[in-house]
Amino acid sequence: MPRQSLKPDGTVYLSDEWADAQIDVDGTKGCLRSFAALKEQRRQLKTILSVGGGGHSENFAAVARDPALRHAFANTARDLCLGYGLDGIDIDWEHPSDPRQGEDYISLLVALRTALPAPRFTITSALPAGAWALQHIPLARACQHLDMINLMAYDFSGPWTPHAGHHAQLRSPARPHSDAACLSCHAAVEYLLAHGVPSRKILLGVPCYGRSFLGCQRPGQACSAHAGEEGTFEYRDLPRPGSTTYVDDETGAAYCVGEDGGFVSYDNATTVGMKARFLAATEDLDYSPCYDGLLCARLELPMDYWNESTSRKIGLAVARRPAKVPVTDPRYAGALMINPGGPGGSGIDTIRGAGSVLQDVLDTFEDPSDVPTNDSNARYYDILSFDPRGAPWMLRVLAEGNIGSSDAAQGRLWSMSHALGATCSAKPDAHDDIKQHVSTASVARDMLELIEKHGQWREAEASKLCRQSTKFGRGSRISSVQGRKVRESLQHKPGQEKLQYWGFSYGTYLGSTFASMFPDRIERMILDGVVNAPNYLQALWSDNLIDTEKALQSFYHHCASAGPSTCALASRGSTSADIEKRVHDILVGLFHNPLPVNGTTPEVITYSDTKNLIFSGLYTPIRSFPVVADLLAGLGRDDGTEFAKLLAQSHQFHCSDSPDRSGRTDSTSTVNYAGLAIACGDGDAQDFLTYSLFDKHRLELESMSPHFGAIWSAISTKNMY
The full DSSP string for 656-677 is S--S--TT----S-EEEHHHHH
For 462, phi then psi, to 5°, come to: -65, -45
Q: What is the DSSP letter of 619?
A: T
Give the strand pairing for 209-213 and 202-204: unpaired
How far is 315 from 407, CA to CA, in rounded Å?
Answer: 45
Number of H helices, E strands in the chain: 23, 25
CA 309 vs. chain centroid, Å, equals 26
Q: Please name which of 457, 431, 449 lies closest in space to residue 323, comparing C-alpha atoms.
A: 457
Q: Catalytic: which of 58, 94, 190, 400?
A: 94
Alpha-carbon span 201 to 141, nearest angstrom = 13
Query: b/e string for 91-119 if b means 16 or more Cβ within 10 A?
Result: bbbbbbeeeebbbbbbebbebbbebbeee
Is the separation of the CB atoms in 163 and 221 below 8 Å?
Answer: yes
Pairing between β-strand 288-290 and β-strand 294-302 as defined by DSSP bridges:
antiparallel
* Rounded Cα–Cα distance for residues 714 and 333 (Å): 43
Residue 426, Cβ density class (10 Å: 0-12 exposed, 13-18 middle, ≥19 buried): exposed
Q: Provide the sign of the torsion angle of the four alpha carbons 213, 215, 220, 224, taken in this order.
A: negative
DSSP letter string over 3-33? Answer: EEEE-TTS-EE-S-HIIIIISEETTEESHHH
β-strand 522-528 against 499-504: which pairing, if any?
parallel
Euclidean distance between CA atoms 155 and 376, whole angstroms: 54
Residue 331 backbone phi and psi in degrees, to 5: -85, -5
Angle, CA of 236, 237 and 241, to the nearest 5°: 140
Decide: 152 and 188 in contact? Cβ < 8 Å.
no
Round to whole Å and give the CA distance between 59 and 280. Answer: 37
Strand-by-strand arrangement of the 288-290 sheet? 288-290, 294-302, 313-321, 380-386, 332-339, 499-504, 522-528
Among 680, 697, 551, smallest CA distance to 624 is for 551
| CA nearest neighbour of 260 among 243, 274, 248 | 243
Is 288 in contact with 274 (CB distance < 8 Å)? yes
Dihedrals φ, ψ of 486, to 5°?
-65, -45
Q: Which residues pair with 151 in a beta bridge?
A: 127, 204
Length, in residues, of the chain: 721
- Beta strand 122-128 pairing with 88-92: parallel
Q: Has 461 been annotated as catalytic?
A: no
Of 249, 178, 239, 188, nearest to 212 (Cα)? 239
With H, G, I as helix, E, B as strand and everything else as coil, classify residue 381. strand
Q: Is 473 exposed, middle or buried (0-12, 13-18, 19+ CB in 10 A)?
A: exposed
Helix boundaries (H) for 426-495: 440-471, 475-489
d(CA 432, CA 311): 9
Cis peptide before 392 (omega within 30 of 0): yes
Amino acid (1-letter code) at residue 555: F
- Residues annotated as catalytic are 94
